[in-house]
Structure 1
Protein backbone atom coordinates (compact mmCIF):
# COMPACT_ATOMS: atom_id res chain seq x y z
CA UNK A 1 0.00 0.00 0.00
CA UNK A 2 1.43 3.37 -1.06
CA UNK A 3 0.31 6.97 -0.72
CA UNK A 4 1.15 10.07 -2.70
CA UNK A 5 2.95 12.24 -0.14
CA UNK A 6 3.58 15.96 -0.29
CA UNK A 7 5.68 16.46 2.84
CA UNK A 8 6.17 15.65 6.51
CA UNK A 9 7.26 18.11 9.16
CA UNK A 10 7.98 18.13 12.88
CA UNK A 11 7.27 20.09 14.95
CA UNK A 12 4.10 21.83 13.78
CA UNK A 13 2.64 24.11 16.46
CA UNK A 14 -0.17 25.84 14.54
CA UNK A 15 -2.50 22.96 13.55
CA UNK A 16 -3.71 21.65 16.88
CA UNK A 17 -2.46 21.47 20.46
CA UNK A 18 1.20 20.93 21.30
CA UNK A 19 4.16 20.02 19.14
CA UNK A 20 2.61 17.96 16.36
CA UNK A 21 3.76 15.75 13.54
CA UNK A 22 2.31 17.15 10.31
CA UNK A 23 1.70 14.87 7.30
CA UNK A 24 0.49 16.41 4.03
CA UNK A 25 -1.06 14.21 1.34
CA UNK A 26 -0.47 15.08 -2.32
CA UNK A 27 -3.46 15.36 -4.66
CA UNK A 28 -6.82 17.09 -4.30
CA UNK A 29 -9.95 16.79 -6.43
CA UNK A 30 -11.84 19.57 -4.58
CA UNK A 31 -9.51 22.50 -5.40
CA UNK A 32 -11.21 25.27 -3.46
CA UNK A 33 -10.76 28.78 -4.90
CA UNK A 34 -8.37 30.73 -2.67
CA UNK A 35 -6.57 27.62 -1.38
CA UNK A 36 -3.07 28.43 -0.11
CA UNK A 37 -1.92 24.87 -0.79
CA UNK A 38 -2.48 24.68 -4.54
CA UNK A 39 0.93 23.00 -4.80
CA UNK A 40 -0.70 19.91 -3.27
CA UNK A 41 -3.46 19.64 -5.88
CA UNK A 42 -1.61 17.62 -8.52
CA UNK A 43 -0.88 13.89 -8.29
CA UNK A 44 2.77 14.39 -7.39
CA UNK A 45 5.73 12.11 -7.95
CA UNK A 46 6.58 11.00 -4.42
CA UNK A 47 4.93 7.69 -3.62
CA UNK A 48 5.86 5.98 -0.38
CA UNK A 49 4.80 2.69 1.19
CA UNK A 50 2.80 2.95 4.40
CA UNK A 51 5.15 0.62 6.31
CA UNK A 52 8.17 2.58 5.12
CA UNK A 53 6.55 5.90 6.06
CA UNK A 54 5.61 4.68 9.53
CA UNK A 55 9.18 3.58 10.11
CA UNK A 56 10.44 7.01 9.05
CA UNK A 57 7.95 8.69 11.38
CA UNK A 58 8.89 6.63 14.41
CA UNK A 59 11.53 9.02 15.89
CA UNK A 60 9.20 12.01 15.54
CA UNK A 61 6.23 10.14 17.01
CA UNK A 62 8.31 9.51 20.11
CA UNK A 63 8.63 13.29 20.63
CA UNK A 64 5.29 14.55 19.25
CA UNK A 65 2.20 15.51 21.26
CA UNK A 66 -0.24 14.90 18.41
CA UNK A 67 -0.57 14.20 14.69
CA UNK A 68 -2.24 16.37 12.04
CA UNK A 69 -3.04 15.03 8.56
CA UNK A 70 -3.81 17.48 5.79
CA UNK A 71 -3.15 18.01 2.11
CA UNK A 72 -4.14 17.94 -0.56
CA UNK A 73 -7.17 15.85 0.30
CA UNK A 74 -6.44 12.83 2.51
CA UNK A 75 -9.79 11.18 1.73
CA UNK A 76 -9.00 11.14 -2.00
CA UNK A 77 -6.54 8.37 -1.04
CA UNK A 78 -8.80 6.65 1.44
CA UNK A 79 -7.27 3.13 1.38
CA UNK A 80 -3.84 4.63 2.05
CA UNK A 81 -5.27 7.02 4.64
CA UNK A 82 -6.98 4.15 6.46
CA UNK A 83 -3.79 2.07 6.48
CA UNK A 84 -1.79 5.03 7.79
CA UNK A 85 -4.34 5.76 10.52
CA UNK A 86 -4.28 2.11 11.61
CA UNK A 87 -0.48 2.15 11.74
CA UNK A 88 -0.39 5.41 13.69
CA UNK A 89 -2.96 4.16 16.19
CA UNK A 90 -1.07 0.92 16.75
CA UNK A 91 2.25 2.66 17.30
CA UNK A 92 1.28 5.76 19.28
CA UNK A 93 -1.29 7.03 21.84
CA UNK A 94 -1.28 10.52 20.26
CA UNK A 95 -4.42 12.32 19.16
CA UNK A 96 -5.02 12.43 15.40
CA UNK A 97 -6.57 15.48 13.72
CA UNK A 98 -7.51 15.24 10.02
CA UNK A 99 -8.38 18.10 7.65
CA UNK A 100 -10.77 17.40 4.76
CA UNK A 101 -12.55 19.56 2.21
CA UNK A 102 -15.44 17.10 2.07
CA UNK A 103 -18.53 17.58 4.22
CA UNK A 104 -19.06 15.44 7.29
CA UNK A 105 -22.17 13.98 5.68
CA UNK A 106 -20.26 12.97 2.53
CA UNK A 107 -17.61 11.22 4.61
CA UNK A 108 -19.92 9.07 6.73
CA UNK A 109 -19.12 5.77 4.94
CA UNK A 110 -15.37 6.36 5.26
CA UNK A 111 -15.67 7.50 8.87
CA UNK A 112 -17.53 4.33 9.75
CA UNK A 113 -14.61 2.31 8.38
CA UNK A 114 -12.17 4.51 10.29
CA UNK A 115 -14.15 4.51 13.53
CA UNK A 116 -11.90 5.20 16.50
CA UNK A 117 -8.93 6.14 14.30
CA UNK A 118 -9.65 9.86 13.84
CA UNK A 119 -10.02 11.84 17.04
CA UNK A 120 -11.04 15.12 15.41
CA UNK A 121 -11.98 16.07 11.86
CA UNK A 122 -12.13 19.52 10.34
CA UNK A 123 -14.59 19.11 7.48
CA UNK A 124 -16.12 21.10 4.62
CA UNK A 125 -14.54 23.02 1.75
CA UNK A 126 -12.66 26.26 2.26
CA UNK A 127 -14.89 29.19 1.25
CA UNK A 128 -12.97 32.38 0.58
CA UNK A 129 -16.23 34.39 0.79
CA UNK A 130 -16.91 33.22 4.35
CA UNK A 131 -15.68 34.93 7.49
CA UNK A 132 -12.46 33.68 9.09
CA UNK A 133 -13.05 34.03 12.81
CA UNK A 134 -12.83 30.48 14.25
CA UNK A 135 -9.81 28.64 15.62
CA UNK A 136 -8.13 26.04 13.36
CA UNK A 137 -10.45 26.83 10.44
CA UNK A 138 -9.70 28.73 7.24
CA UNK A 139 -13.35 29.76 6.84
CA UNK A 140 -16.27 29.78 9.26
CA UNK A 141 -18.34 27.29 7.27
CA UNK A 142 -15.84 24.57 8.20
CA UNK A 143 -16.69 22.37 11.19
CA UNK A 144 -14.54 20.94 13.95
CA UNK A 145 -15.99 17.48 14.63
CA UNK A 146 -14.85 15.75 17.81
CA UNK A 147 -15.16 12.02 17.14
CA UNK A 148 -13.61 10.28 20.16
CA UNK A 149 -13.17 10.92 23.90
CA UNK A 150 -9.51 11.75 23.19
CA UNK A 151 -10.63 14.23 20.54
CA UNK A 152 -12.90 15.94 23.09
CA UNK A 153 -10.12 15.99 25.66
CA UNK A 154 -7.49 17.42 23.33
CA UNK A 155 -9.43 19.68 20.95
CA UNK A 156 -12.72 20.77 22.54
CA UNK A 157 -11.02 24.01 23.59
CA UNK A 158 -10.70 24.93 19.89
CA UNK A 159 -14.48 25.29 19.54
CA UNK A 160 -13.99 29.02 19.95
CA UNK A 161 -13.25 32.27 18.11
CA UNK A 162 -9.72 33.08 17.04
CA UNK A 163 -7.41 34.43 19.72
CA UNK A 164 -4.23 36.49 19.24
CA UNK A 165 -2.09 33.41 19.92
CA UNK A 166 -3.75 31.68 16.95
CA UNK A 167 -2.31 34.26 14.55
CA UNK A 168 0.92 32.32 14.06
CA UNK A 169 2.50 30.29 11.27
CA UNK A 170 5.23 27.65 11.23
CA UNK A 171 7.87 28.07 8.52
CA UNK A 172 9.43 24.96 6.98
CA UNK A 173 12.49 24.94 4.73
CA UNK A 174 13.15 22.27 2.11
CA UNK A 175 16.58 21.21 0.85
CA UNK A 176 15.96 23.04 -2.44
CA UNK A 177 15.37 26.36 -0.69
CA UNK A 178 11.56 26.27 -0.81
CA UNK A 179 9.78 27.76 2.19
CA UNK A 180 6.45 26.30 3.35
CA UNK A 181 4.00 27.71 5.84
CA UNK A 182 1.95 25.54 8.19
CA UNK A 183 -1.02 27.03 9.94
CA UNK A 184 -4.11 29.04 9.05
CA UNK A 185 -2.97 32.34 7.52
CA UNK A 186 -5.25 35.33 7.29
CA UNK A 187 -6.65 36.10 3.87
CA UNK A 188 -3.93 37.14 1.42
CA UNK A 189 -1.11 36.75 4.01
CA UNK A 190 0.81 34.65 1.47
CA UNK A 191 0.41 37.26 -1.24
CA UNK A 192 1.41 40.07 1.11
CA UNK A 193 4.53 38.10 2.05
CA UNK A 194 5.29 37.56 -1.63
CA UNK A 195 5.02 41.29 -2.36
CA UNK A 196 7.22 42.16 0.63
CA UNK A 197 9.96 39.73 -0.41
CA UNK A 198 9.81 40.89 -4.04
CA UNK A 199 10.21 44.48 -2.89
CA UNK A 200 13.43 43.40 -1.17
CA UNK A 201 14.77 41.87 -4.38
CA UNK A 202 13.96 38.18 -3.78
CA UNK A 203 12.60 35.86 -6.44
CA UNK A 204 9.33 34.44 -5.13
CA UNK A 205 6.67 32.04 -6.39
CA UNK A 206 3.66 31.18 -4.25
CA UNK A 207 1.15 28.36 -4.47
CA UNK A 208 -1.80 30.50 -3.37
CA UNK A 209 -4.53 29.97 -5.97
CA UNK A 210 -6.44 33.00 -7.15
CA UNK A 211 -9.16 33.37 -9.76
Structure 2
Protein backbone atom coordinates (compact mmCIF):
# COMPACT_ATOMS: atom_id res chain seq x y z
CA UNK A 1 0.00 0.00 0.00
CA UNK A 2 1.22 3.50 -0.88
CA UNK A 3 0.10 6.28 1.44
CA UNK A 4 -1.07 9.55 -0.06
CA UNK A 5 -2.61 12.76 1.21
CA UNK A 6 -5.52 13.83 -1.01
CA UNK A 7 -7.64 16.96 -0.88
CA UNK A 8 -10.37 15.71 -3.21
CA UNK A 9 -11.20 13.72 -6.31
CA UNK A 10 -14.01 14.56 -8.68
CA UNK A 11 -15.65 13.62 -11.97
CA UNK A 12 -16.47 15.23 -14.28
CA UNK A 13 -14.14 18.21 -14.40
CA UNK A 14 -14.61 20.25 -17.57
CA UNK A 15 -12.44 23.30 -16.85
CA UNK A 16 -8.92 21.86 -16.49
CA UNK A 17 -8.17 20.41 -19.89
CA UNK A 18 -10.18 19.08 -22.82
CA UNK A 19 -13.37 17.10 -22.37
CA UNK A 20 -14.82 15.47 -19.27
CA UNK A 21 -11.90 14.65 -17.02
CA UNK A 22 -11.20 13.02 -13.70
CA UNK A 23 -9.63 15.51 -11.30
CA UNK A 24 -7.31 14.58 -8.43
CA UNK A 25 -6.10 17.27 -6.03
CA UNK A 26 -3.15 16.36 -3.83
CA UNK A 27 -3.05 17.77 -0.29
CA UNK A 28 0.01 19.64 0.93
CA UNK A 29 2.08 22.40 -0.66
CA UNK A 30 5.23 24.11 0.63
CA UNK A 31 5.31 26.69 -2.19
CA UNK A 32 2.28 28.61 -0.87
CA UNK A 33 1.98 31.24 -3.60
CA UNK A 34 0.54 34.54 -2.33
CA UNK A 35 -3.01 34.89 -3.62
CA UNK A 36 -3.48 31.14 -4.20
CA UNK A 37 -7.18 30.31 -4.36
CA UNK A 38 -6.51 26.83 -2.94
CA UNK A 39 -4.95 27.68 0.42
CA UNK A 40 -7.02 24.85 1.91
CA UNK A 41 -4.76 22.39 0.08
CA UNK A 42 -1.52 23.69 1.61
CA UNK A 43 -1.41 21.85 4.93
CA UNK A 44 0.22 18.40 4.59
CA UNK A 45 -1.09 15.25 6.18
CA UNK A 46 -4.81 15.86 5.76
CA UNK A 47 -7.00 13.42 3.86
CA UNK A 48 -4.66 10.48 4.36
CA UNK A 49 -5.59 7.44 2.33
CA UNK A 50 -3.86 5.03 -0.03
CA UNK A 51 -3.17 5.21 -3.74
CA UNK A 52 -5.00 1.92 -4.09
CA UNK A 53 -8.15 3.40 -2.54
CA UNK A 54 -7.96 6.42 -4.85
CA UNK A 55 -7.59 4.13 -7.86
CA UNK A 56 -10.66 2.16 -6.77
CA UNK A 57 -12.63 5.42 -7.03
CA UNK A 58 -11.05 6.41 -10.33
CA UNK A 59 -11.94 3.00 -11.76
CA UNK A 60 -15.63 3.86 -11.37
CA UNK A 61 -15.19 6.86 -13.67
CA UNK A 62 -12.42 5.89 -16.06
CA UNK A 63 -14.59 4.53 -18.86
CA UNK A 64 -16.48 7.81 -19.11
CA UNK A 65 -13.49 10.10 -18.76
CA UNK A 66 -11.41 11.63 -21.53
CA UNK A 67 -8.38 12.06 -19.33
CA UNK A 68 -6.96 12.81 -15.90
CA UNK A 69 -5.91 16.17 -14.48
CA UNK A 70 -3.69 16.22 -11.39
CA UNK A 71 -3.33 19.36 -9.31
CA UNK A 72 -3.16 20.39 -5.70
CA UNK A 73 -1.62 21.25 -3.43
CA UNK A 74 1.68 20.18 -4.92
CA UNK A 75 1.62 16.70 -6.52
CA UNK A 76 5.39 16.45 -6.91
CA UNK A 77 5.92 16.75 -3.16
CA UNK A 78 4.39 13.28 -2.92
CA UNK A 79 6.47 11.91 -5.75
CA UNK A 80 6.23 8.21 -4.90
CA UNK A 81 2.46 8.37 -4.56
CA UNK A 82 2.20 10.40 -7.76
CA UNK A 83 4.06 7.80 -9.79
CA UNK A 84 2.02 4.95 -8.26
CA UNK A 85 -1.24 6.76 -8.98
CA UNK A 86 -0.34 7.47 -12.59
CA UNK A 87 0.89 3.92 -13.22
CA UNK A 88 -2.48 2.74 -11.95
CA UNK A 89 -4.31 5.24 -14.17
CA UNK A 90 -2.50 3.88 -17.22
CA UNK A 91 -4.03 0.49 -16.42
CA UNK A 92 -7.49 2.02 -16.23
CA UNK A 93 -7.64 4.40 -19.17
CA UNK A 94 -5.92 5.54 -22.37
CA UNK A 95 -6.87 9.14 -21.53
CA UNK A 96 -4.13 11.74 -21.44
CA UNK A 97 -2.67 13.05 -18.18
CA UNK A 98 -2.21 16.75 -17.46
CA UNK A 99 -0.39 17.77 -14.28
CA UNK A 100 -0.13 21.19 -12.67
CA UNK A 101 2.88 22.04 -10.50
CA UNK A 102 4.12 25.18 -8.83
CA UNK A 103 7.70 24.11 -9.45
CA UNK A 104 9.66 25.21 -12.49
CA UNK A 105 10.37 22.57 -15.13
CA UNK A 106 13.99 21.98 -14.09
CA UNK A 107 12.83 20.96 -10.61
CA UNK A 108 10.46 18.24 -11.86
CA UNK A 109 12.55 17.12 -14.86
CA UNK A 110 14.34 14.37 -12.87
CA UNK A 111 10.98 12.86 -11.85
CA UNK A 112 9.72 13.06 -15.43
CA UNK A 113 12.88 11.37 -16.72
CA UNK A 114 12.55 8.59 -14.14
CA UNK A 115 8.85 8.09 -14.95
CA UNK A 116 8.58 8.29 -18.74
CA UNK A 117 5.14 8.09 -20.27
CA UNK A 118 3.18 8.79 -17.08
CA UNK A 119 2.48 12.47 -17.76
CA UNK A 120 1.50 13.73 -21.22
CA UNK A 121 1.68 17.44 -20.45
CA UNK A 122 2.76 19.45 -17.43
CA UNK A 123 2.03 23.07 -16.54
CA UNK A 124 4.91 24.45 -14.49
CA UNK A 125 5.63 27.53 -12.43
CA UNK A 126 4.21 29.25 -9.36
CA UNK A 127 1.15 31.44 -9.43
CA UNK A 128 2.21 35.10 -9.57
CA UNK A 129 -0.67 37.40 -8.74
CA UNK A 130 1.30 40.41 -10.04
CA UNK A 131 1.75 38.85 -13.49
CA UNK A 132 -0.71 39.25 -16.39
CA UNK A 133 -3.31 36.55 -16.87
CA UNK A 134 -3.97 36.48 -20.60
CA UNK A 135 -3.29 32.87 -21.61
CA UNK A 136 -5.61 29.88 -21.41
CA UNK A 137 -5.27 27.26 -18.66
CA UNK A 138 -2.96 29.44 -16.57
CA UNK A 139 -3.42 31.37 -13.37
CA UNK A 140 -0.63 33.72 -14.45
CA UNK A 141 1.28 34.10 -17.70
CA UNK A 142 4.63 33.05 -16.21
CA UNK A 143 3.38 29.46 -16.11
CA UNK A 144 4.57 27.26 -18.98
CA UNK A 145 2.97 24.27 -20.71
CA UNK A 146 5.34 21.41 -21.62
CA UNK A 147 4.09 18.66 -23.92
CA UNK A 148 5.72 15.36 -22.97
CA UNK A 149 4.20 12.85 -25.42
CA UNK A 150 2.32 12.47 -28.68
CA UNK A 151 -0.88 12.13 -26.66
CA UNK A 152 0.00 15.38 -24.93
CA UNK A 153 -0.21 17.29 -28.21
CA UNK A 154 -3.93 17.77 -27.49
CA UNK A 155 -3.00 20.20 -24.73
CA UNK A 156 -1.12 22.47 -27.15
CA UNK A 157 -4.53 23.87 -28.07
CA UNK A 158 -4.32 25.83 -24.81
CA UNK A 159 -1.27 27.81 -25.91
CA UNK A 160 -3.50 30.69 -26.95
CA UNK A 161 -5.12 33.81 -25.52
CA UNK A 162 -7.73 33.07 -22.88
CA UNK A 163 -11.40 33.65 -23.64
CA UNK A 164 -14.36 34.13 -21.32
CA UNK A 165 -15.09 30.44 -21.81
CA UNK A 166 -11.68 29.59 -20.32
CA UNK A 167 -12.72 31.26 -17.06
CA UNK A 168 -15.70 28.98 -16.49
CA UNK A 169 -15.71 27.13 -13.16
CA UNK A 170 -17.10 23.74 -12.22
CA UNK A 171 -19.01 24.04 -8.94
CA UNK A 172 -19.29 21.12 -6.52
CA UNK A 173 -20.94 20.76 -3.10
CA UNK A 174 -19.74 18.53 -0.28
CA UNK A 175 -21.76 16.64 2.31
CA UNK A 176 -21.41 19.50 4.83
CA UNK A 177 -22.88 22.04 2.43
CA UNK A 178 -19.60 23.67 1.47
CA UNK A 179 -18.98 24.61 -2.15
CA UNK A 180 -15.73 24.38 -4.04
CA UNK A 181 -14.69 25.27 -7.53
CA UNK A 182 -12.54 23.64 -10.19
CA UNK A 183 -11.02 25.80 -12.86
CA UNK A 184 -8.91 28.90 -13.29
CA UNK A 185 -10.82 32.07 -12.42
CA UNK A 186 -9.86 35.51 -13.66
CA UNK A 187 -8.18 37.86 -11.22
CA UNK A 188 -10.78 39.26 -8.84
CA UNK A 189 -13.56 36.81 -9.74
CA UNK A 190 -13.84 35.35 -6.24
CA UNK A 191 -13.78 38.79 -4.64
CA UNK A 192 -16.68 39.85 -6.87
CA UNK A 193 -18.44 36.59 -6.07
CA UNK A 194 -18.07 37.22 -2.34
CA UNK A 195 -19.24 40.82 -2.61
CA UNK A 196 -22.30 39.80 -4.62
CA UNK A 197 -23.33 37.17 -2.07
CA UNK A 198 -22.72 39.53 0.84
CA UNK A 199 -24.95 42.10 -0.85
CA UNK A 200 -27.70 39.45 -0.79
CA UNK A 201 -27.20 38.90 2.93
CA UNK A 202 -25.05 35.75 2.82
CA UNK A 203 -21.93 35.13 4.88
CA UNK A 204 -19.05 33.90 2.73
CA UNK A 205 -15.70 32.51 3.88
CA UNK A 206 -13.17 31.62 1.20
CA UNK A 207 -10.22 29.28 1.71
CA UNK A 208 -7.70 32.09 1.18
CA UNK A 209 -9.31 33.97 4.09
CA UNK A 210 -9.20 31.02 6.47
CA UNK A 211 -5.67 30.07 5.47
CA UNK A 212 -3.89 26.80 6.21
CA UNK A 213 -3.22 25.43 9.65
CA UNK A 214 0.45 25.09 10.54
- Output the TM-score relative to the length of structure 2: 0.94
Superposed CA offset, 1:114-152 (max 9, x none): 211000100010111110000100000000110000001
The answer to whether the 8 Å contact 1:191/1:208 transfers is no
Instruction: State the 4+ residue runs in structure 1 displaced beyond 3 angstroms.
Output: none
Q: What does residue 79 of structure 2 align with?
A: 78
Distance 1:139 1:210 in 2: 23
Number of residue-to-residue matches in the alignment = 210
Superposed CA offset, 1:26-47 (max 9, x none): 0000000010000100124311
Following TM superposition, by how much is the alpha carbon of 1:164 offset from its aligned partner in structure 2, in angstroms? Answer: 2.8
Distance 1:98 1:184 in 2: 14
Larger displacement relative to structure 2 (188-197 or 7-16): 188-197
Following TM superposition, by how much is the alpha carbon of 1:209 offset from its aligned partner in structure 2, in angstroms? Answer: 5.9
Following TM superposition, by how much is the alpha carbon of 1:181 offset from its aligned partner in structure 2, in angstroms? Answer: 0.8
Q: What does residue 18 of structure 1 align with?
A: 19
2:184 counterpart of 1:187:
no
SS at match of 2:208: coil
SS at match of 1:107: helix
Distance 2:209 2:99 in 1: 22
State the Cα RMSD in Å: 1.4
SS at match of 1:33: coil
Distance 1:182 1:162 in 2: 17
Q: What does residue 159 of structure 2 align with?
A: 159
In structure 1, runs of 5+ residues without a counterpart are none
SS at match of 1:108: helix
Distance 2:148 2:116 in 1: 8
Q: What does residue 176 of structure 2 align with?
A: 176
SS at match of 1:11: strand
Matching of residues 39-50 of structure 1 within 5 Å = 39-50=40-51
Q: What does residue 35 of structure 2 align with?
A: 34
Distance 2:26 2:178 in 1: 18
The answer to whether the 8 Å contact 1:73/1:101 transfers is yes
Distance 2:174 2:210 in 1: 24
Distance 1:7 1:108 in 2: 26
